[in-house]
Every structure is written in structure tokens, then in C-alpha cells.
Structure 1
Amino acid sequence: MTEELLKERKEAMLALINDPTYVPMKIKELAMLLDVPREKRDELKEVLDALVADGKVGLSKRGKYGKPEAFTLIGTFCGHAKGFGFVTVEGMDQDVFIPAEKTKDAMHGDTVQITASPASKGKRPEGAVIKVIERANQTIVGFYQKNKNFGFVVPDNQKINADVFIPQGKDMGAVTGHKVVVRLTDFGGEHKNPEGVITEIIGHVNDPGTDILSIVKAYGIPDEYPPEVMKQVSRIPDEVAKEDMAGRKDIRDWQTVTIDGEDAKDLDDAITISRESYGYKLGVHIADVSHYVTEGSPLDEEALNRGTSVYLVDRVIPMLPHKLSNGICSLNAGTDRLALSCIMEIDPQGRVLGHEIAETVIRVDRRMTYTAVNAIVTDRDGKTMEEYADFVEMFDLMKELADILREKRRQRGSIDFDFPESKIILDEKGRPVDIKPYERNAATKIIEDFMLMANETIAEDYFWQDIPFVYRTHDNPDPEKMKRLGVFINNFGYTIRTHDGEVHPKELQKLLKKIEGTEEEALISRLTLRSMKQAKYMPVCSGHFGLAAKYYTHFTSPIRRYPDLQIHRIIKENLRGGLSEKRIAHYDKILTGVTIQCSATERRAEEAERETIKLKKCEYMSKRIGEIFDGVISGVTNWGFYVELPNTVEGLVHVNELHGDYYVFNEERMELKGEMSGKTYKLGQKIQVVVTGTDRLTKTIDFIPAKNLELPEEEA
């Protein structure tokens, strides 16, 4: 069909479909209506499909053609630096691809209305944005470039591919190199840039701290408290009042300790333990934050808005103001504190025989560090044991019980990811000087084991009481991701068993046990974790795959997590005479919104933390251009492969840097193979690489294979 004829038929078909009397029809019905013979139906379909691709005609799942708005979908737009994007639609297995010329004025994160053609074999569905329903970006953070009479802001977020035009007089006096916040006044369009007004100058790109603060602003993480919150905080006392202790279980005479990192200031959990005839009495005592942060108050609303404390490489942005998080709510040694306690009776096999949940008053005897406790229970360091002589027996008993609890979890299939997280050491100007692993030790595991036990005990109790509650849930992994993980670990000689695409947590646990102590342990552990779904908060209890637990919640950190604070309120109300029908209805009404908000703010915090780590890793490697590193191939794509170094830094070897051959990507085997040489680069393969460049804007690091630096024999 000629272009002219196609255009003519498109116009005729559009006129028909836009007629007010037209009802959506299938190709067969349309052909009959238009008297199109059977042999010409392919041509009719070609015309209609071209109109669908242009976004001018809609196509239903049942194959009916009609006006675009008749068959539209609603989803979230994910942009790409090259202009195209994808739309995630709830309930659809695949994202819808949106070509650059069909994105309209949609930006990354926007809720959009789209048309989509059905997916053809081997391809994802393709569509067009009809309109933007809800804007995700009222403000954008970026790098300002000033021209004579105007300027542009280059967004930090690479998924926003258009620079923002800043008219003269709307730049607050910013100069080239400033990182700024711009409020959008016009979202632009197909041939027009977005336009905006600069509302804040964060600082110059080279000023210490500007890089991290830019990420904070870009993610919309609140870093200042509203005046009404601080007014409420000013009325909170510095010490626990006597009247606040009334009616509480007084356990100030129990030997009590906190165990945290050296730098921790928000101490929200304390431990008591004793040996009993039945086994052990373990007390997990959690700061009673809900006593000071009352429901519906400005403090409560701000805490829910934040959802969580955010831990970045150079700062902590707390959920609650310091007067609470480091003061009255922190279980500081030698002070009376209000707590919510879970006191468990545990037998020698690690079974909870009984438990008591109580409002308590506690007094911590010693503020311990993981380092000191580990020196006692693992290293048996004489000097440390002498310093804490009155507590050595307590710590030994803790380790004894923690080992039992961990073994019990192991037997049921709980997965323990014991790989190092990155700890980036900064100098006084915020520049990275070293990247070290955060090592877990016996002391960190003791606290993890006790917190897990308390969380499970509380969750099971409230599940069977059948009252509104917040649970921490973790769904079974996606079968496709498990299949890809199986391909990856095959490169190392490991396997995992699946049944109908499903995997039991014990299989992943066995894998992690097999790789323990091997060179590939950190890499496989991290990729196994990435292959699993993200945990989330839910008002229904659907179990926790990773822990192989039927019941799980977050009870132990109300200073830094809102879900914990929320369930503390429910628990206390229940302890004080139970929930009335009115209060049950109230919690039923709010908990879905609370869990959605808390899951979203948790993701936001995690993403911001990842971005700051990537940024500092990039900055660290920028000082090591030309240096050679040993690494392992951690990802393979058609554009190259990623290499992870022992210090957890990851960079890309682009396929264009693989000289002397043409490399083809085999997705099933996850490898790049040279057509002439047969040489392969595959997942898990060890390789030496050279750092060739870094880009702080995209937070990426470029490598080339070290062999690329070797001279050919005739030149040597």
C-alpha cells in the first residue's frame, strides 16, 4: 500500500470511528460494515493498526477498534534519558513501551492515560500517552547553566530527559554550577522544553555536602520540621514524670543493657535475660514513643509523612526531632524510661512457652557496643571482660539463647543474608577516602535474633486476637527471577531446586550455606537478594518468605519507623481494656493508607540511600582512573557487562570496548560471545579491569578489560 493510499484510508477510517453513532467493532465486523472482501482484510487491519500505533485509535483486549479514550489504561510513566519510556499498569504482566514521539509531555513518575496495542510474540505491548492525569514532579533538582538572558536547569534525575528553561529574572541570582530547586510553571510538550522558576539555591556543585543535599531535595525528603511540630516538642519534658509511671510494670531493678553501634544515639531497644527452670526469660523492651507522639497530633502527622528515618552516608534525617529520638525516647543508661515490653519464656529448643506484653518502666544499666560485646562473647578479651565483669554472664547467656533461636529459624528455612554492606568513610569535607564492608559479628546477630523473636511473638499474638494490625510481609519470589538466578549460579556450579517455578526458602538457605566462605559469596548473596521481592507493610498477615515465618511485624523500632509506632498504639489501647467496635472501625479505616504510605516512604529512603552510596563510590573511583582491579562479572546485557569489585563498587565494560571481535548477547546463557574467537564473558566470571572514567551526574563508573592495555605481540 502506497503512503498516499495509506494516508487516505487512515482519514476515512478516523472519520468513521469518530462518528458519534459508531460502536467499537472487531476487524471482521468492520470489514462487513465497509463491504471489504476477505482478501483485503489484511490491508484494513494494516490501516487500523497504524492508527493504533499513532494513538489515534484504541484497541480493546478483545480486539475491538474504537476511540482511544474507550480503551485507555492508567499507569505510572517511567522515563528514560533517551526520551522514550515505559508505563506500568497494575494487573498487566508487562510494562507498555512508549516511543519518544508518543510520550506527549509526560515526565518520569507521572500517572498517565495511555492507549496500548496488544503484545506480539517476543515483544512487549507498545502505546501512546493520551494525557497526564497526575503530575509527580512539581519541583525538580538540577544543575544550573546560565546564558546571557536566560538559563537552563539540567535535571539530576536522568529519567527526566528535558532541560528546564528558566526565563530572565526567575533564577534567584543563580550562576552556572549552582545546584538548584526549580518549580515547574509549564510542563512543555513535543517541541517545547518545560519552564520553571528557581525557588532554592542548594549550593555550588563543588561545595561540601551539596551533592547529598541535592539528593535529599530530589527525593522530597523533609529535612526541617514545621513550626507547629517544634511547638509541640517544646512542651515535652526532658525526664520521665512520676505520674507517667503510674500503673506500669516497674522493672528498673532488672539487669538491663542496650547494644548498638558506636555512633548510635537513638537507642530504642533494651534487653534483659535470665536463666529459669524452663529455660530462659528474655525481655525485649522498646521505647514507648507513642506516649509522647499522640495520634493525630502535629508530631504524629509529620512522623507519618516522613514514615522512617533516613540514613545517608554523611547524615541522618530522623523521623522524630532530636529531643525525642536522642532524648526522652532514647533508652539512655542511668535514666528512667517508659517502655513497651515483650517478655518471653523460651525453652532450650527455642520455643516460646508463654509471653507477656506490658507497659513498663525501665532503667538501662549499661550502654554497650557491638564491638565490646563481641570482644566478650567471641574473642574472650581479658581487658573487656574485666571492664564489664558484672555483665559477662549475661552476655554469655544471650549468645547461648541467640544460637538456639538462629538454629531453630535455620531448620524451618529462614534465609540469613550475611554479606557486607558498604560503609563509606568520608573526610571532613565529605569526600570519600575509603570503602569498607560493614561486618556483622556475634553481637549484631544476638540483637537481630532477639528482635526477630519479639516481632514474631507479637505478630502471632495479634493475628489470633483478630484485631486490626500492621504486619511486615514478604511474598514468594517471581518464578522468572528465580530462573535467572538459577542460570547465574550455574556458572559457579551451584543449583537450586524449584517446583512448578516455585522455590522454598530452604533451597535459597542451602545455596547461601554452600557459598559460605567462597570468593563468590558476597556476589551470589547480593544477587539472590535482588531476585526476591521487596518486603512491605500490610494490614493483613500473609507471611514472610525470607524468614520462613507465618507471622511477622515490626515492633522494635518506633523511634525510626512509623509502622512500629502505629502498632504500639494498638497494643497499648488493647492492654488498657481492649478495642471498642468504634476503635476497630477506626483502625480498619486508616491502616491501609498507613501501610501504603510507610511502604512508599521506606522505598524512598532506600533509593535515596542507594543514590548517595553510588555517588560517593563514583567520586571515590574518580581518583583511581587507570588503576587495575580484580572483579567478577555481576551482570550481562546486550550493551556490555557489569563488573563488581571486592569493595562492592560496580562498573560497566561497554561492548564497544571489547576489541577485535563482534560480541553477541545470549540472554538464556547470560553471556556475550565473540563471533570469530568464541571468547565469552559470562556471569560470575573473574576478570581484571581498568577504571577509565566516572560520571558524577549519572553516578556511573566505566571499566575496560585490563588486557585491552596489553600491546599486540608485534609492538611489544
Structure 2
Amino acid sequence: MNDIMEKKKKVILELMNDKTYIPMKFKELAVVLNITKENRDQLEEVLSELLEERKISITKKGKYVITKEHYIEGYFISNDRGFGFVEVEGQDEDYFIPEDKVNGAFHHDMVLIQVEDSQTGKRKEARVVKVLSHEIQQVVGYFQKSKTFGYVLPDNQKIAQDIYIPGKDTMGAVTGHKVVVQITDYGTNGRKPEGKIIEIIGHINDPGVDIISIVKNYDIPTEFPEEVMKQIENIPDEVPEEDKVGRKDIRDWQTVTIDGEDAKDLDDAVTLTKEDGIYTLGVHIADVSHYVTENSPLDKEAVKRGTSVYLVDRVIPMIPHKLSNGICSLNHDVDRLALSCIMKINEKGEIIDHEIVESLINVNERMTYTAVKEIIVDKNPETMERYKDLVPMFELMAELSEILRERRYKRGAIDFEFPECKIKLNQGGKPISIEPYDRNKATKIIEDFMLAANETIAEDFYWRQLPFVYRNHEEPDMEKVSQLTTFINNFGYSVKMSKEQIHPKELQKLLKNIEGTPEEALISRITLRSMKRAEYTPECKGHFGLAAKYYCHFTSPIRRYPDLQIHRIIKEALNNKLTDKHISHFNHILPEVTKNCSITERRADDAERDTEKLKKAEYMMGYIGEEYEGVISGVTNFGIYVELPNTVEGLIHVSNMMDDHYIYDENTYSMTGERTKKTYKLGQKVKIRVEAADKVARTIDFSLAE
């Protein structure tokens, strides 16, 4: 029915777009379109939809015409200063919405906008014509009680207004409670939004409430539905004999997992041998799809979550712990089902042959990055003695890892070495230290082997011309690359670029040049920010950062849905079950699946970033008045951002730059004093004093120290 309706709309639009079309009333239009009296109600329905979509309009004389005004749908992103922006799918640049043209739009509403001539001349401008739908139904925030009512200050800083709560709808909350509010009225014409409290998370000072508030704010599911828990009751703790039949039995291969000390969901294991100058590398991935079958309650919940979420104090898994830490985890000394990519690699690092098989494995040792580093780097006698049977394989792994990395480097792959931070908390959830993660040769071994498998699988299925899920990373936006160039020039570095593109090798050279310098971490992070966000699609578009033509995510089906999805496709292909019907099925579902995977990945990243910002702010509350040296990491018209060596970033607001009136130059990303001519620019070292930190707002304020 929808297809028929769309065809009818298309016919009408083509008619009205024709230069010979003369505006006409309903009856005249019906005659021209050869619509009988009995079917005119259908024409009325089609015209109503086109009017609703603003594709046509009616003149004062009741005649139908094509809409001349330019209307576009998009998401409204509000700003706490009253104005906003509208993001349109498929467009890199958003539209600026002045405060007087917001027209009552609430943060993240789907809106219809009309493009207007820009008043500034620098960016696209528009006005909100109509709010099509309210995407945000619930808000998390801080409750404050008055005598007869209350109000909630939203945690989401983009929501500028507080939310009025009538006395009958406070659910007994008191000042200081973090709550979840159901919005009942979005407010218009200066009237505040209104809502009712549906959940009290806890008092703001209670341990863990701050993190749970972020989880609730992003609507990340934490509890598994009853039907999911019922399904896993029937899943065994050990692999039954009948499930082992028909698989490649490699239980006698020397097999290890290498993960962090705290890891419990072990979804990848590796094997390696060398004979006659040829390495045989096996990357064995937990066969999660054997247990999480399509359209089962487990699968539907996994789709909804999209990914496991790793926060500073907890992990919110994509699938229940019984699977992720149990039968789907490649634990030591137990039989496990796997999907294996076994590659033949020559001494140049070329993958000259491979096979993909359903396998049966048994892990010899559960290794940690620390222990492997002690073997291949530190040559620790005790550790080497403990794992003496495995030492030759680890040394071979280090050898092959270097070869694969060098080969990737030669083609232009970019390797970001900046440290991600690890925030340590005490039992009460208070941050006690912020340290960089240790990324060493052991972690690089696993990275290199997983990358090899991901590329091999992606290329294999690309040439099979079967439906698939690719991990794409498009070329960066040249405006952002230009900003990066300005930034690195302040340090004395440069990159070659044309007006239209930059080769990843240029960014690779930059990162090589800054290796070991004090500014390495900062420039690496700013370079990463200049990149586009990688995404999942059914089309293979290549991976800019890896300088790879083919890439996918195959290696983490316990924690990423895209990996689980392609495991199903791979297994159907291996078992000759990819009939035309199945191919049609995957072609139908993959656009939506990949879109959802990209959205849930972004949600997880944003939640992780917010919890880090919160704990960094809480940590710096203990260092008010202290002075540190940092580097200017951002310059805006309202102040300068400074990053400290421990990755904490704070703002020196322009109002706190008391010694002069500073003018912002957006071309050079610098601030210059009107009288003193003192200049602050990106990359410049400055001494700061910590003035304030607010864990609720997740902000840190600095001032310039003498």
C-alpha cells in the first residue's frame, strides 16, 4: 500500500513540476489525472500527505501548486544560549537557527526548516517551520523542591530550560535527588516544559548515582528482559558433543588468549606456527551466533543494545554474562566453538592464502598483556620459565607483528599512539588517579593479528559479492584538515595536501615526526578529531585511517552486533545456505542493521566520554588552587582550552583573562590582546591555576597563572 501511495505522489509531483502545468483546483486535477468519482477519496488522501510533507501547497483560490519554498527535515540541536542548529542526514554541514527562529523546538526534535539567506554570510541559516516529532520523551536531571511544586535541571546541557514539575507529580522527591522525568508538555511561547517524575535514581551524593544518571540519560538498557533470561536457561554451560560434529578440530593446536587482567569476556584466541618461511596465523573468534540466533529474544535485545558499553566503573554487556563470560568466552582448558580465519603469510607480510572455517578449539593458556610483555620485551626469567612451552610462539608472534605493522605502515596506515586514560576509583566511586593505558608490544600483537583477520574476511566477502557489513572510514573533511594544518604549524610541523584530498601517508608522517616529543599526545588527539567518524554500512567504501580498501569488524561478536551479524552471513556461506531468498533477506535488513549499529556505537562512545568528563571534574575538585603547565588545545571566541599531561582539559574563559581585552582570530585560532598584543594560540604551553570544577556540569575552569 505504501509503495502504491508513493507512486501516486510521484505522478502528481511530476505533473506539477512540469513547466506547462497550470495551477488547478481539486476537481480539475482529478480530471487531468483521469481519476473517477469513486476513487477521488484516494486522490484526496494523496494530496493531504503531500500537503503534510510540504511538497505542495494550496493558493488562496484553492488551487494546488508545487511548494516553491525550500523545506528540509532534520534534527534540532539546541544551545544553552537560545539558538540552535539542525543536522540533516547525509549532509556534513548543519544549519544555524537564530534564537528568534527556533519556533518552540525542543532539543533533538525532528523539525521542518526553511532555508534562508545567511545574515553572517559564513554558514547556512534557516528557521524552524514546524516540529514534526519530539524524539526526547524522558529527561534525567537534578531535582529542586519548592513549597507547592518542583523543577528539574536537566543533566543534558543542550536542554536550556529547566522542567516544571507540579506538586502532585514529584513522586516524593526531595532537593538533591537525581530523577527521571517523563515530559508531558514541551512548552511554547516562553512557557517552560512540564513533566512528571517516573523514577528516583538516588541522591546526588550516593555512590554510583552519577554514573547511573548518565546511563539513564542515554537510555542505555541495563536489565535484560524476562524472555531473554528465560532463553539463556536452555543454553548449556559446556559444549555438548553433538555441537562439535562437522567442525575443524584444532584442539591440539597451541592456542592462547591475550587480554587485560580484568577481562572476562574472551572472544578472540590466536595460534601461530612457521614452516619453510611461511607463517600460519590462526585468529579464532567465539561462535556467538551459534547461541544468539536471528530474531530470538537474545538477538532482539542485542540489536537494541548494539554494543557493550565500557564505563569507568562498570560494563553494560550486549549479551548476558552467562554467555559473555561463560560458554561464549574462550576460557582456558575447555572446549569452545569458534569461527576461525587461518591465514598463510609470507615474510613480506603478504597474506598469500587463507581459509575460513567453523572450528573447535581448546585454549592452552589465558595470557595477559603484562605477562606477554614480560616475555617478549623484559625477558623476565620467572615469567619465561612459567610459560616456557609457549615462549617460542610468543617470540614468533612479536616477529610477525612487526612485519604486518611495517607492511601497513608502508601503504600509509595511520597509527595513533596517544594514551587513552584509565581512571581509577576507590570503593566509594571517587576518582583517586588518572593514568594513561599502557599500550605495549603485547597489545600491538593482538591489534595487528585482528586487523589482518578483519581485512582478510572483508576482502573475501567483497569478491564473493554477497551481502555484508563493512566498517568504513571516509576521507576527512578538508576544512578540518585545514584547521589541523594551522594547529600543527604552531609547533613547526606541516603536511602536504591538495584542495580536495590528503593521503593518509601525510598524517602518518606527521605522527612519526612527533614521536617521543612532549606534544605527541596532544597532536595525535587533535589529528584524530580532524577525522570523520567510522561507520557501518552494507557498502564497501574503504578505511582511510588504515589505508585499507576492504575492512570489517569480525573479531568481537560478544560485544559488537556488526561482528555477530557477519558471523551469521559467513556461516550460511560456508554451509551453502545463502540461497536467493536468504540473500534477499540480508539485503533487506542490512541498511537498517548497519545504521542502528552506528547509532548505538556513538551512544556508547558519548556515554563513555561523559563518564570520563564527570570523573575528571570530580578528581580536579581536590586540586583547586593548584598550578600546572599545560598546552592550549582549543581556542574559541569565549576562551581557550588547556590540556594537562594527565589528559584533563579545562577552560580559561575570556572573562577571566583580566589583563587585557582579547580578540579572537578564527583564521589563526588565536587570541590577541588589544593593548598588550599578547597572543595565545593552539599548541602553546601555558601555566594555569585550577579555579573550579563542577561534576554535575562536567566542567573544569582554569585561569592563567603568572
Q: Which one-letter code corresponds to 1:660 in the other structure?
A: D
Give the equivalent residue in structure 2 for 1:180.
Answer: 179
* Cα distance in 1, alignment partners of residues 94 and 250 from structure 2: 56
Matching of residues 663-702 of structure 1 within 5 Å? 663-702=662-701
Matching of residues 240-279 of structure 1 within 5 Å? 240-279=239-278
Which stretch shows the higher mean deviation, 124-133 or 177-186? 124-133
- Residues 452-491 of structure 1: per-residue CA shift (max 9 Å, x gap): 0000000000000000000000000001100110000000
Deviation of the 1:124 alpha carbon: 2.3
Q: Is the 8 A contact 2:481 2:530 kept in 1?
A: yes
Q: Is the 8 A contact 2:69 2:114 kept in 1?
A: no
Deviation of the 1:102 alpha carbon: 2.7
Q: Which one-letter code corresponds to 2:549 in the other structure?
A: K
- Residues 496-531 of structure 1: per-residue CA shift (max 9 Å, x gap): 000223110000000000000000000000000000
* Cα distance in 2, alignment partners of residues 110 and 415 from structure 1: 37
- Cα 1:168–1:647 change in 2 (3 A) is same
Give the equivalent residue in structure 1 for 2:359.
Answer: 360
* Cα distance in 1, alignment partners of residues 222 and 286 from structure 2: 23
Matching of residues 311-326 of structure 1 within 5 Å? 311-326=310-325
Matching of residues 417-432 of structure 1 within 5 Å? 417-432=416-431
Please tell me whether residue 556 in structure 1 is matched to residue 555 in structure 2. Answer: yes
Q: Provide the secondary structure at the position in 2 that maps to 1:623.
A: helix
* Cα distance in 1, alignment partners of residues 291 and 182 from structure 2: 36
* Cα distance in 2, alignment partners of residues 273 and 99 from structure 1: 60
* Paired residue total: 649
Q: Which one-letter code corresponds to 2:94 in the other structure?
A: D
Give the equivalent residue in structure 1 for 2:142.
Answer: 143
* Cα distance in 1, alignment partners of residues 409 and 254 from structure 2: 30
Gap regions ≥5 residues in structure 2: 1-20, 24-56, 58-64
* Cα distance in 1, alignment partners of residues 568 and 322 from structure 2: 21
Please tell me whether residue 474 in structure 1 is matched to residue 473 in structure 2. Answer: yes
Give the equivalent residue in structure 1 for 2:14.
Answer: none
Q: Is the 8 A contact 1:101 1:190 kept in 2?
A: no
Give the equivalent residue in structure 2 for 1:49.
Answer: none
Which stretch shows the higher mean deviation, 364-373 or 667-676? 667-676
Give the equivalent residue in structure 2 for 1:290.
Answer: 289
Gap regions ≥5 residues in structure 1: 1-20, 24-57, 59-65, 708-716
- Cα 1:67–1:359 change in 2 (3 A) is closer
Q: Is the 8 A contact 1:68 1:115 kept in 2?
A: no
Deviation of the 1:118 alpha carbon: 2.6
Give the equivalent residue in structure 1 for 2:625.
Answer: 626
Give the equivalent residue in structure 2 for 1:38.
Answer: none
Give the equivalent residue in structure 1 for 2:43.
Answer: none
* Cα distance in 1, alignment partners of residues 394 and 629 from structure 2: 40
Deviation of the 1:407 alpha carbon: 0.2
Q: Provide the secondary structure at the position in 1 that maps to 2:565.
A: helix
Deviation of the 1:164 alpha carbon: 1.2
Give the equivalent residue in structure 2 for 1:117.
Answer: 116
Q: Which one-letter code corresponds to 2:139 in the other structure?
A: I
Q: Which one-letter code corresponds to 2:302 in the other structure?
A: A
What's the TM-score, normalizing by structure 1?
Answer: 0.89
Q: Is the 8 A contact 1:77 1:109 kept in 2?
A: yes
Q: Which one-letter code corresponds to 1:132 in the other structure?
A: V
Q: Is the 8 A contact 1:142 1:181 kept in 2?
A: yes
Q: Which one-letter code corresponds to 1:378 in the other structure?
A: V
Give the equivalent residue in structure 2 for 1:440.
Answer: 439
- Cα 1:112–1:622 change in 2 (3 A) is same
Deviation of the 1:91 alpha carbon: 5.3
- Cα 1:686–1:68 change in 2 (3 A) is farther
Matching of residues 69-84 of structure 1 within 5 Å? 70-84=69-83
What's the TM-score, normalizing by structure 2?
Answer: 0.90
- Cα 1:179–1:684 change in 2 (3 A) is same
* Cα distance in 2, alignment partners of residues 308 and 337 from structure 1: 22
Percent of aligned pairs with the same amino acid:
62
Give the equivalent residue in structure 2 for 1:650.
Answer: 649
Q: Provide the secondary structure at the position in 2 that maps to 1:604.
A: helix
- Residues 574-609 of structure 1: per-residue CA shift (max 9 Å, x gap): 000141000000000000000000000000000000
Q: Is the 8 A contact 1:306 1:319 kept in 2?
A: yes
Q: Provide the secondary structure at the position in 1 that maps to 2:585.
A: helix
* Cα distance in 2, alignment partners of residues 372 and 227 from structure 1: 40
Q: Which one-letter code corresponds to 2:664 in the other structure?
A: F
Give the equivalent residue in structure 2 for 1:13.
Answer: none
Give the equivalent residue in structure 2 for 1:229.
Answer: 228
Q: Which one-letter code corresponds to 1:547 in the other structure?
A: L
- Residues 336-378 of structure 1: per-residue CA shift (max 9 Å, x gap): 0000000001001111111010000100000000000001001
Give the equivalent residue in structure 2 for 1:171.
Answer: 170
Q: Which one-letter code corresponds to 1:588 in the other structure?
A: N
Q: Which one-letter code corresponds to 1:314 in the other structure?
A: D
- Cα 1:91–1:609 change in 2 (3 A) is closer
Give the equivalent residue in structure 2 for 1:526.
Answer: 525
* Cα distance in 1, alignment partners of residues 705 and 381 from structure 2: 48
Give the equivalent residue in structure 2 for 1:543.
Answer: 542
Alpha carbon RMSD of aligned pairs, Å?
A: 1.8
* Cα distance in 2, alignment partners of residues 451 and 242 from structure 1: 29
Give the equivalent residue in structure 2 for 1:383.
Answer: 382
Deviation of the 1:557 alpha carbon: 0.2
- Residues 180-222 of structure 1: per-residue CA shift (max 9 Å, x gap): 0011111111221111111111010000000000000000100
Runs of 4+ off more than 4 Å: 66-70
* Cα distance in 2, alignment partners of residues 517 and 589 from structure 1: 49
Q: Is the 8 A contact 1:375 1:381 kept in 2?
A: yes
Please tell me whether residue 213 in structure 1 is matched to residue 212 in structure 2. Answer: yes
Q: Is the 8 A contact 1:635 1:641 kept in 2?
A: yes
Deviation of the 1:67 alpha carbon: 11
Q: Is the 8 A contact 2:116 2:127 kept in 1?
A: no
Deviation of the 1:538 alpha carbon: 0.8
* Cα distance in 2, alignment partners of residues 67 and 579 from structure 1: 46
* Cα distance in 2, alignment partners of residues 93 and 220 from structure 1: 26
- Residues 96-128 of structure 1: per-residue CA shift (max 9 Å, x gap): 222233323322111101222133563323332
Q: Which one-letter code corresponds to 1:491 in the other structure?
A: N
Deviation of the 1:93 alpha carbon: 5.7
